[in-house]
Structure 1
Amino acid sequence: MAKGKKGALRGRAGRMQGGRGSGRASKGAVRLWGRHAVEAALKNPARQHRKLWATLDGLDSLDGELPADFPLERAEVADLARLVARDAPHQGLVLECEPLEDLHLADVMDGDASRPIVVLDQVTDPHNVGAILRSAAAFNAAAIVTQDRHAPPESGVVGKSASGALEFVPWVRVVNLARALEELAEAGYWRIGLAGEAEATFAEALPAGPVALVLGAEGEGMRHNVGQHCDALARLPISEAMESLNVSNAAAIALYAIATR
């Protein structure tokens, strides 16, 4: 669905010089690729940028212009292929930048009933986390919450799958997910865990107030202790022909249900 362009990048593009990149991200840096992920990062004032490698076509595809002193290097398609994961669809753009600053759970608990918080229990596939970020952006979720040890790091795969949402959906990493669910309850959130074996459907379990949507990893589902910290377990009413849904698809359906209740 086409929408109007966001605010343009500032300044004029600096001169692109020939040469190849290092082949791997610098220590502590994040490397993003693809037009939506790179453009969103360039427009994010909270993001500190180290270097952009771009083909001429890639640079022309960006909305707006870069500052004159932006660290920019001309590259060919083959050069960019050496900077990213194998067969990654970089679309002529690779950006190396600093990770986003850490957030605390208290920073995102606004209590708005229309803005759920998505809690992911050991969802480790970066494609799934990126897709969930994208759905969270589409349905106006306030944040996603993961455990720091059992979730993927910020990365190009997450950024590409999120299609820009990595830059504006807050991502909170916590040490103890059960404690985070207790904090959500104290803040007035109704915690609903998706579980295929639950008796109630998701629509039946939805309250009128703020919701924390809890999803577990594919296969294992939510851990027992996490499920015990939910106020309700609910299932999506899918056909018996399918045992389950991909976790990112389940998240999208549940977020739509919250947005349209």
Structure 2
Amino acid sequence: MSELIYGIHAVQILLNSNPDRFLYIYISKGSLNKRLRLLCQQSKQFNIPVQYCDRVFLNKKVKCAAHQGVVAEINTRCSFQEKDMLCLLQARNRKDLLLLILDSVTDPRNMGACLRCAVAFGVDLVIVPRHRSVGLTAVVRKVSAGLADSVPFVRVVNLARTLILLQKYNVWIVGTVLASKKSIFQANLAVRLGLVMGSEGIGIRCSTKKYCDELVNIPMVSELTSLNVSVATGICLFEILRQRAYM
């Protein structure tokens, strides 16, 4: 199976890290700027076929998304499944294990931004429910600046059951909710940790919330009721990194 990625940065990052996944690269005839010329040169080094075409063809390929003159067809990398998670955990059996658990994040732009944060702050695994969640789409990859494949992405059937399993592996589950009276700055995050973030609309579902070991909030000085999930994720992951710098 194959899928499409687009945008100069997303294609460049994957080309640098995993050129074997490329099947074809399509480049707009009238868009050969310096960065696209570099992509062409690298593609030839890896023997990746390059096809020059007009922008109408590229627009149809990606349904008029902002492709910046380049679209690539790549081999699909399957998401990890529930059965793979134990092996991934055992391979990362460290006291500073960090998991990002995204509950009901269905917007691909939010997911892409969350994955970019995950890579920036050293997350070991990203876990999402198979349903009520967006997968690794072309939009997710573009918004993540090509970093979506840099962190294992695990899709599970039952998120509540997964949290119970993680707790058996000594992972402390911290959920973020507006109603909590405890600030994230008061929590001890320098442990084997699973951070649960919910969508901006509904937050963490009740079925997920009740299996969290601890619930915290992000303190705000205004009357704003919520933050975009990717912004909130970045704040929480930074606080985790800050605390662990003193371990």
TM over 0.5: yes
Q: Does 1:53 align with 2:30?
A: no
Report the counterpart of residue 3 of structure 2 in structure 1: 30
Q: Does 1:41 align with 2:14?
A: yes
**Distance (Å, rounded) in 2 between the aligned partners of 1:64 and 1:185:** 49
Report the counterpart of residue 98 of structure 1 in structure 2: 75
Preserved CA contact (<8 Å) 2:19 2:46: no
**Distance (Å, rounded) in 1 between the aligned partners of 2:231 and 2:38:** 30
Equivalent residues, number: 233
Q: CA 1:80–1:171 in structure 2 vs 1: closer, same or farther (change >3 Å)?
A: same
SS at structure 2 position matched to 1:218 = coil
Percent identity, aligned pairs only, is: 30
Structure 1 or 2: larger helix share? 2
Deviation at 1:32, TM superposition (A): 0.6
Preserved CA contact (<8 Å) 1:131 1:162: yes
Q: Which runs of 5+ in 1 are unaligned?
A: 1-27
Q: Does 1:70 align with 2:48?
A: yes
Structure 1 runs (4+) deviating above 4 angstroms are none
CA RMSD of aligned residues (A): 2.0
| Equivalent in 171, 174, 192 of residue 189 of structure 1 | 171
Q: More displaced, 68-77 or 122-131?
A: 68-77
Q: Does 1:136 align with 2:118?
A: yes
Q: What do the CA deviations read for 1:8-28 (whole angstroms, capped 9, x no partner)? A: xxxxxxxxxxxxxxxxxxxx4
Counterpart of 1:81, as a letter, is: N
**Distance (Å, rounded) in 1 between the aligned partners of 2:192 and 2:167:** 10
Q: Does 1:119 align with 2:92?
A: no
Q: Does 1:81 align with 2:59?
A: yes
Q: Does 1:229 align with 2:211?
A: yes
**Distance (Å, rounded) in 2 between the aligned partners of 1:49 and 1:166:** 16
Q: CA 1:233–1:63 in structure 2 vs 1: closer, same or farther (change >3 Å)?
A: farther
Q: CA 1:94–1:111 in structure 2 vs 1: closer, same or farther (change >3 Å)?
A: same
Q: CA 1:62–1:71 in structure 2 vs 1: closer, same or farther (change >3 Å)?
A: closer
Preserved CA contact (<8 Å) 1:41 1:47: no
Matched ranges for 1:176-255 at <5 A: 176-255=158-237
* TM-score, normalising length: structure 2: 0.87
Preserved CA contact (<8 Å) 1:29 1:96: yes
Deviation at 1:95, TM superposition (A): 0.8
